[in-house]
Amino acid sequence: MQRKKKKKIYFDISAWVVVSAMSVLAVILGMMIFMQFQQRKNQAVTIFVEKGATLIQSFEAGLRNRLNRDDDVFYLQKLLMETAQQPDIDYMIVTDGAGQILADSDPSMLARPYGLDLDMKKIAESQEIHWRQTANPEGAGTFEVYRGFPPRVGDSEKGDLYPLIVFVGFNMDKIEKAAREDTFQTVLIALVLVLIGSLAIVSLFLVQAYRLARVSLSRMTVFSEALVKHMPIALLSVDKTGKVVTCNEQAQGLITGSCREVVGQDASLFLPVAVSRVLSRINEQTQMVEEDVVISSANDGDQIWEVVTAAFADDDVHEGKILLARNVTAIRFLEKEVARSRHLNAIGSLAAGVAHEIRNPLSSIKGFAVYFKQRLSGNLEDEQTADIMIAETERINRVVSQLIEFARPLTLKKEQTNMPDLVRHAIRLVAAEAHKNAVEIDVQVGEDLLETDIDPDKIKQVMLNIFLNALSAMPDGGRLTVAITAQKYFMDVAVSDTGSGIKEEDLPRIYDPYFTSKPAGTGLGLAVVQKIMDAHGGVIQIDGTEGFGTKVTLRFLLSAKEKMEK
């Protein structure tokens, strides 16, 4: 079995945004590190300067009132060497104003020049503390603090005095080592802070992207739910175990029960057998099936449903099936009617050509029949024969006229017409025939009826044809009912009779030209009726059972204006 692959979720975060944020963070941390180095450097300088000044002052106090004697130069060297023994002191040097070493913690340096790169005279005359950093060939650097001080070396009685300058050199090994450790720790902390800051920035972007993804997903979910709920066709989805996952309101016309009841249940328990069979045909080899199925209903009879089933998968792994269905009973009926109408139009066009050729010789035959009737007047038998010829000729002419009327393109003159008034007018025209056959007529008019945009003359012709057919089916009396009702988008005129009805085998052929069950019928009446209804965009439906009467329903679609008024 194929293992399901994990989905990877990608957030749309620009790499430039992340790099820019990290760069800004690095610059800020660099400035902080630089400022910290400067602060520590200043602190170290202050400490060395203060320590050097203190040592120089101590050294100066130890020499005061002793350097005026020549024999105390030895004491200067001794004191200098003892003072230089303190920790972190590299050397101590005492020079005169010319830079000659008078005393040195390293005796080998006596009488050598020192500090020639400095303004020794100016330094000797000033008691201001000076400092500098010098290189130490033996290792770490040296921080040197120096200044002049009042004691003089020479013969004071002769006035031969000269200034002194004291140099104190501090070993910076510990300071530099501590600085290196601080630098390492600072850099490490900075890297950690950069990493943490970068992660925080990326986390913020991820959180924002996640929030946006959730909002987008929420909107898509709401949109999908609304789409499934309000789509005009039935939708039902099942998982790979066959249990219902999704069901919309339109699907309730297909299942037995409500959507709440079927969700989570086996779909085959609620779907018609024909639909379940189509759904079961979906497998790894067959990804989609489309088929028309007939579903029988106690209330609506046989209904045709167009069913489309398909498999849906995630990364090519079968996850379930989806079923779409819609009731196409009316559509299939209209398709058959369109095909039939085309067939009848072809027959009508052919018949019209033949009728036109028959009409001319037919007029001649009728003329000769009238001539022979007049010529043979006085002979009763010959006159009756001539009358039969004239009557049959007129009958053929009526058939030809109806045939031409059937084949001729209709030109409608529509106007707003009150349907109940039109029906009553047509009934008055057949009232005498109904009275003769002892047929009662009942007209039922619904409420809120609007005027309909039709050709009143053509629709009256339709009404008369249907009324006369109904009366001919009730020669021994009966009841003719006309019901006019209006729905949201259409108006129905239903004509019912209690006559002989229609044989089941004759129902598919009742609109065919020249098909009739009446001895004197032409077979063109209902064909013309259907043509007029088609021209109005309406529908005619005839239901009948032999021995139980016939019901003819004329359905007229309402115009946009009539719908708005409705």
How far is 184 from 57, CA to CA, in rounded Å?
Answer: 37
What the block records as the tokens of 456 is 């009143």
Which contiguous run of DSSP H or E holds residue 283? Answer: none
Q: What is the pLDDT of residue 565?
A: 56
Q: What is the pLDDT of residue 138?
A: 63
The answer regarding whether domain 231-327 maps to CATH 3.40.50.300 reads no
How far is 199 from 283, CA to CA, in rounded Å?
Answer: 47
Q: What is the pLDDT of residues 194-234, one digit of tens each?
A: 788 778 877 887 888 888 888 888 888 888 777 777 788 88
**Spans of the chain, pLDDT less than 50:** 1-11, 153, 155-156, 158-159
Pairing of β 415-417 and β 439-445: unpaired
| The total number of residues written for the chain in this structure | 566
Q: What is the pLDDT of residue 161?
A: 58
What the block records as the tokens of 520 is 């004197």
How far is 34 from 198, CA to CA, in rounded Å?
Answer: 21
Q: What is the pLDDT of residues 457-502, one digit of tens each?
A: 989 989 998 998 888 888 888 999 999 998 877 889 999 998 888 8
CATH architecture of 17-178: 2-Layer Sandwich (3.30)
CATH fold group of domain 332-407: Helix Hairpins (1.10.287)
How far is 398 from 522, CA to CA, in rounded Å?
Answer: 9
Domain ranges of the chain: 17-178, 231-327, 332-407, 415-565
Q: What is the pLDDT of residue 75?
A: 75
Q: Name 76's Cβ contacts closer than 8 Å, sequence gap at least 6.
A: 63, 66, 67, 94, 102, 103
Q: What is the pLDDT of residue 31?
A: 83
DSSP annotation string for 140-183: S-EEEEEEEEEEEEEETTTTEEEEEEEEEEEE-HHHHHHHHHHH
How far is 507 from 517, CA to CA, in rounded Å?
Answer: 11
Q: Do domains 17-178 and 231-327 have the same CATH topology?
A: yes
Q: Using an 8 Å Cβ cutoff, are 290 and 274 in contact? A: no
Q: Using an 8 Å Cβ cutoff, are 307 and 275 in contact? A: yes
Q: What is the pLDDT of residue 156?
A: 46
Q: What is the pLDDT of residue 1?
A: 39
Q: What is the pLDDT of residue 493?
A: 92
* CATH superfamily of the domain spanning 415-565: Histidine kinase-like ATPase, C-terminal domain (3.30.565.10)
Burial-class residue 515 by CB neighbours within 10 Å (0-12, 13-18, 19+).
Answer: middle
